[in-house]
């Protein structure tokens, strides 16, 4: 069961990181977006 949950968890975390990056890009500009994506990865 864990083998199915683990990839899903990483996908969700990655998607969340990308969404946060996009949001920061809109709010603060591009440098903040790259920083956010880098931290989430």
pLDDT score, position 28: 72
The alpha carbon of 2 is separated from its chain's Cα centroid by a whole number of angstroms, namely 22
pLDDT score, position 27: 75
Task: Enter the pTM of the model.
Answer: 0.42
pLDDT score, position 12: 86
On the 0-12 / 13-18 / 19+ scale of CB atoms within 10 A, 21 is buried
- Chunked mean pLDDT (size 10), the chain, 41 residues: 77 83 73 58 55
pLDDT score, position 4: 77
DSSP 1: -
């Amino acid at each position: 069961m864990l083998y199915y949950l683990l990839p899903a968890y990483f996908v969700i975390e990655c998607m969340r990181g990308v969404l946060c990056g996009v949001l920061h890009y809109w709010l603060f500009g591009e440098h903040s977006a790259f920083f956010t994506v880098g931290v989430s990865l």
